[in-house]
Amino acid sequence: MKRRDYVMIGVVCASVLLALCRPARAADAVRGFDLTRLTTLRERGLSPEGVAQRYLSFLVEETAQPSPTRRGLGGGDITHDYILTQIVLAGALSGASRDVLWAAATVARPGEYRDCIQLTLGLLGDTRVRDFLIRYLGDPDNSPRLRDQAARALGRVPHPSVVAPLAAALQDPASEVVRGVGPARKAYYIRGTARGSLKKVERAGVALPAAVQQAMAAAVTTEPLPQGSK
């Protein structure tokens, strides 16, 4: 391991310790993680390394003390898994340093903290986590919301090995009820994400077997709710 890697790991460990040692206010513990804090990852002048360190502190906070489920402004539930998903996405969209994230993942214990770091790395197009993403997507015991991000990330690390797991996800049962303009419907969000990722993989030059192309065309990503359903 190079000296630079040791320095990076030291920086990561310091930021994690600070997050763990910071006293939490009782009111914050009741309300849970404030999602508006994620906007600070886009602060002007914040370096990719600084983004990664702040992202990791958010992730440590939420995994160490999962937020209780609460009602969102739109009427839906804001759950621990939903918050983790938003942190994962924010880290990727804000351009967190891959080197800092990789250093954190290599020293982290197995669990959702390390999993989320690797999901963010995948969304950043880091091919080192491709095998992890394949395993994570294929494990039904993982959070459907986070498995959806694994499916999204696989489209950003194109390789023949991702075709089969994404094709299998075209039949994934995870769904949510979508209400808005028109009748309410059931959306199979992992199926939709998997189909989109397969299209990206194909555009990157990976050939898709005819059976996979047929499965993409036949995949049901939305369907109307039965009359009278709530």
The pLDDT, as a whole number, for residue 71 is 81
Cβ atoms 197, 151 nearer than 8 A: yes
Pairing state between β 176-178 and 70-71: unpaired
Amino acid at 144: P
Residue 6 has pLDDT above 50, yes or no: no
Reference 119, options 99, 101, 139; nearest CA is 101
Element (H, E) at 77: strand 77-78
Cβ atoms 60, 109 nearer than 8 A: no
Query: How close are the terminal C-alpha atoms of the chain, in Å?
Result: 56
Spatial separation of the C-alpha atoms in residues 54 and 97, rounded to whole Å: 11
Angle at 33 between CA 152 and CA 92, to 5 degrees: 30
Spatial separation of the C-alpha atoms in residues 66 and 123, rounded to whole Å: 23
Residue 23 has pLDDT above 50, yes or no: no
Residue 204 has pLDDT above 70, yes or no: yes
The pLDDT, as a whole number, for residue 68 is 95
Cβ atoms 44, 94 nearer than 8 A: no
Which burial class, exposed, middle or buried, applies to 196 when counting CB atoms under 10 A from its CB (0-12, 13-18, 19+)?
middle
The pLDDT, as a whole number, for residue 184 is 85
Q: Which residues contact 177 (CB under 8 A, 6 or more apart)?
A: 184, 185, 186, 187, 225
Cβ atoms 183, 225 nearer than 8 A: yes
The pLDDT, as a whole number, for residue 84 is 98
The pLDDT, as a whole number, for residue 12 is 47
Pairing state between β 77-78 and 176-178: unpaired
Q: Give per-residue pLDDT as tens, 28-71.
A: 445 799 999 999 999 999 999 999 999 999 999 999 999 999 98
Element (H, E) at 145: helix 144-154
User: What value does the mean pLDDT take over residues 83-92?
Assistant: 98
The pLDDT, as a whole number, for residue 230 is 58
User: What value does the mean pLDDT take over residues 197-221?
Assistant: 98
Q: How confident is the model at residue 7 (pLDDT cuts 50, 70, 90)?
A: very low
Highest-scoring range by mean pLDDT, 7-11, 23-27, 54-58, 178-182: 54-58
Q: Give per-residue pLDDT as tens, 110-124.
A: 999 999 999 999 999
| Helices first, then strands: H and E counts in the chain | 11, 5
Residue 17 has pLDDT above 60, yes or no: no
Q: How confident is the model at residue 75 (pLDDT cuts 50, 70, 90)?
A: low
What tokens appear for 184 in the block? 């309410």
The pLDDT, as a whole number, for residue 25 is 46
Residue 80 has pLDDT above 70, yes or no: yes
Residue 211 has pLDDT above 70, yes or no: yes
pLDDT more than 90, % of the chain? 76
- Average pLDDT of the chain, as a whole number: 89
